[in-house]
Amino acid sequence: MKKRALCALVSLALCVTLAGQAAAAESSVSFVVNGITLAADVPNRVEARTTYVSYWPIVSALYPNATAEWVNGQAEVKADGLTLHIKPGAQYVEANGRYLYVPDGVKCEGYSIMVPIRTLCQALGAGVEWDGTQSTIQITSGSGPILSGEQAYQADVVYWLSRIIYAESGNQPLDGKIAVGNVVLNRVASPRFPNSVYEVIFQRNQFTPAANGSINRTPSAESVVAAKLCLDGANTAGSALYFVNPTVAPGSWASRNRPYVATIGAQKELDYIEKHFKKPRPLVSAFYCAKAQQNGHVSPYLPVVMICASCMKCPDRELREKRMEISTRVC
């Protein structure tokens, strides 16, 4: 009954709007949960190589006693050891206080809420494998749902990471906030920087908010979410170790000495680059060869989306070929 009530309460207008934002193809792939083929309420969809599924058939198959309600504009699922929040349009799924990144957002198909299958299985603590011979996705129960946020996140790490994210990118979209968090965590992992979030943030002459005290401002809720997303693997900055706002520091050391990786955020920053540096506006969805730029063949103000160290090492063949093709044209 609760599941049916949930479906009835989902806004049709919202779902139709979200479903129409990106072209998707229906998939003929079937799902087998613990050896039993599921009868899905809506066809699964494939978008940008990501398989989206209606969450409820899989949840109810793995957790027969689960209930779902519509609370404050989102689905709230409860089962033994599991509390799951799924909000249409959100770029994440919350499971037991953990935040799992959904880059293209949670979607709707008719009255059904659609999420990436791997993200859903991660939340449910289930195994997922592709069986190419049968064109099926095999899902198996694990030892239980995902560990809670209290178990997975260190409070002091969330505390400082969310504060530097808010201080440096509080006015940016979620992807921009994640990028700042990525840079901090990349530094922690790099032998060139200190090995803790606190030490990286307070390293001398690195982050202005640490020097002027703005690091101590209470972060926004989204900044806290961004910090937790980063700690759970969300990445919009690749392996970048630096970021800069060109409207604040157009002649910064990073701008002059480090390859340009990507532009994330406000349109006015793109306008500023074009006007003041007399350089081409960064191209949306264009990939440039990072190695070619490092060799001086590409303007430092053209964007580079650095998926890997060089084109030839990119694990994605289609992306590698696209990057090499474009880098050849601009080099």
Worst-scoring range by mean pLDDT, 19-33, 196-210, 257-271? 257-271
pLDDT band at 251 (very low <50, low <70, confident <90, very high): low
The token duo for 213 is 């005290």
| Average pLDDT over every residue of 174-182 | 92
Antiparallel, parallel or unpaired: β 36-37 and 30-33: antiparallel
pLDDT at 262 over 70: no
pLDDT band at 273 (very low <50, low <70, confident <90, very high): very low
pLDDT band at 258 (very low <50, low <70, confident <90, very high): low
pTM of the predicted structure, to 2 decimals: 0.72
Which burial class, exposed, middle or buried, applies to 272 when counting CB atoms under 10 A from its CB (0-12, 13-18, 19+)?
middle
pLDDT at 14 over 70: no
Model pLDDT, residue 46: 84
Q: To which residue do tokens 């601009």 refer?
A: 330
Q: How far apart, in whole angstroms, are the C-alpha atoms of residue 275 and residue 66?
A: 56
Edge-first strand listing for the sheet containing 136-140: 36-37, 30-33, 136-140, 127-131
Q: How far apart, in whole angstroms, are the C-alpha atoms of residue 248 and residue 242?
A: 15
Residues 96-108: b if buried by 16+ CB within 10 A, e if exposed: bbbbbbbeebbbb
pLDDT at 249 over 90: no
pLDDT band at 256 (very low <50, low <70, confident <90, very high): low
| Average pLDDT over every residue of 90-113 | 94
Q: What is the pLDDT of residues 156-171, one digit of tens each?
A: 999 999 999 999 888 8
Check residues 18 and 76 and name the one with the higher pLDDT.
76
**Percentage, residues of the chain above pLDDT 70:** 64
Q: What is the pLDDT of residues 220-246, one digit of tens each?
A: 999 999 999 999 999 988 888 887 655
Reported as half-sphere exposure (CB side, CA atoms, 13 A), residue 80 has a value of 6
The token duo for 260 is 């340009």
Domain 153-243 carries which CATH code?
1.10.10.2520
Model pLDDT, residue 140: 94
Which burial class, exposed, middle or buried, applies to 279 when counting CB atoms under 10 A from its CB (0-12, 13-18, 19+)?
middle
Which burial class, exposed, middle or buried, applies to 197 when counting CB atoms under 10 A from its CB (0-12, 13-18, 19+)?
buried
Model pLDDT, residue 326: 41
pLDDT at 206 over 80: yes
Q: To which residue do tokens 């969310």 refer?
A: 162
Check residues 54 and 325 and name the one with the higher pLDDT.
54
pLDDT band at 6 (very low <50, low <70, confident <90, very high): very low
Q: How far apart, in whole angstroms, are the C-alpha atoms of residue 41 and residue 56?
A: 9
Q: How far apart, in whole angstroms, are the C-alpha atoms of residue 246 and residue 60?
A: 49
pLDDT at 114 over 70: yes
- Residue 46 in contact with residue 25, Cβ under 8 Å? yes
Model pLDDT, residue 313: 43
The radius of gyration of the chain from alpha carbons, rounded to an integer in Å, stands at 22
Q: Whose CA is closest to 277, among 260, 300, 305?
A: 300
- Where exactly are the structural domains of the chain? 2-146, 153-243, 249-331
Model pLDDT, residue 43: 77
pLDDT at 205 over 50: yes
Q: What is the pLDDT of residues 191-204, one digit of tens each?
A: 999 999 999 999 99
Q: Which residues pair with 116 in a beta bridge?
A: 52
Worst-scoring range by mean pLDDT, 95-99, 179-183, 233-237, 320-324? 320-324
- Residue 282 in contact with residue 294, Cβ under 8 Å? no
Model pLDDT, residue 264: 58
Can you name the CATH fold of 2-146?
Answer: Copper Amine Oxidase; Chain A, domain 1 (3.30.457)
Q: How far apart, in whole angstroms, are the C-alpha atoms of residue 72 and residue 282?
A: 38
pLDDT at 129 over 50: yes
Count the neighbouring beta carbons within 10 Å of the beta carbon of residue 14.
13
